[in-house]
Amino acid sequence: MNQITIQQITVNQQTFTVRTAGLDNKGDLVMLLHGFPESSLMWEPLMIELANQGYRVIAPNQRGYSAGARPAGVQNYTMKLLAADVVALAHFFGFQQKFHLVGHDIGAVVGWTTATLYPQLLKSWTALSVPNWPAYIWALENDPVQKEKGHYVHTFQHKYIPELILRAFHYRVLRKLWTGFPQTTIDTYLDLFSEKGALTAVVNWYRALLQLPQINYKQITVPTKFIWGNQDLAIARSGVERNRQYISGPYQFVELDASHWFMEFNREEICKEISEHIKKYS
């Protein structure tokens, strides 16, 4: 049986905490990207499952979530830099060619960006919860339901206020989001977000998205599976349905009767969907 190991990996002048599994296997590389407010810890069950299938699996605590990869300044958290971290980590582990990518929440935006900028490096792309950025931003600007679900994105644009809100009453807002999570997981996340500069760094992802110039999101050509839960607290149907027009390659959309937290509450089903897509393009 494969086990999870945790390594400190330095690329792009940043040191990332990276969970790995099955690195001695002969199969393809699979990289897993977490979202907010979680970490690579969320992926451990899937990592074991994929490693047992023969894949080599890595899941980084991304820029801002790793204590050694927490540079100051909004300009250090653009999607272009976050996607460059993905590629650099894949290269570090010896994959100069194609690998599989999976991303959840705003980690999915990193994945969509990677699929836009580096399509030649991806065998497959699996997005969880969040559609491609042009589809999401259209919905945020035009759909009243998405405006309500995504109001926090605008709140996160302010200086200092988001950090104060998130930290208040011993991280009450975050602990509410984690309702039903194992206590050990909650404790691990609280430890991470309590670290110096962590809250500002993770909120800077959202500030960079709306405050800085964006890349030109082109048609996605990488074989893509997009999985969305119709009870998602943050993502409305309008952007999800619009997503198709930004993809020209093979595309499969899966709607689940589920919330935002797939790995926590729909683990068996979501692992099956992800594994099937990766296997199809291995």
Per-residue pLDDT tens over the stretch 156-192:
999 999 999 999 999 999 999 999 999 999 999 999 9
Q: Is it the case that residue 281 has pLDDT exceeding 90?
A: yes
Query: pLDDT tens digits for 244-258?
Result: 999 999 999 999 999
Tokens of 140: 């945020």
Number of domains in the chain: 1
Residue 229 β-bridge partners: 256
CATH number at residue 140: 3.40.50.1820
Q: What percentage of the chain exceeds 90 in pLDDT? A: 97
Lowest-confidence region among 43-52, 91-100, 145-154: 91-100
Tokens of 201: 């760094």
Alpha helices by DSSP H, 143-258: 144-149, 151-155, 161-177, 183-193, 198-211, 237-242
Angle between helices 198-211 and 79-92 (to 10 degrees): 120
Q: What percentage of the chain exceeds 70 in pLDDT? A: 100
pLDDT level of residue 95 (50, 70, 90 thresholds) = confident
Return the amino acid letter for 89. Answer: L
Lowest-confidence region among 162-171, 210-219, 256-265: 210-219
In the chain the beta strands, taken as DSSP E runs, fall at 5-11, 14-21, 29-33, 56-60, 99-104, 122-128, 224-229, 251-256
How large is the average pLDDT for residues 254-264?
98
Range of the domain at 156: 5-280
pLDDT level of residue 54 (50, 70, 90 thresholds) = very high
Q: Is the pTM of this model over 0.85?
A: yes
Return the amino acid letter for 96. Answer: Q
pLDDT level of residue 13 (50, 70, 90 thresholds) = very high
Cβ partners under 8 Å of residue 215, min gap 6: 79, 80, 113, 116, 117
Residue 1 pLDDT: 66
Phi-psi region of 84 (alpha: psi -120 to 50; beta: other; left: phi over 0): alpha
Residue 214 pLDDT: 86
Tokens of 179: 């309702």
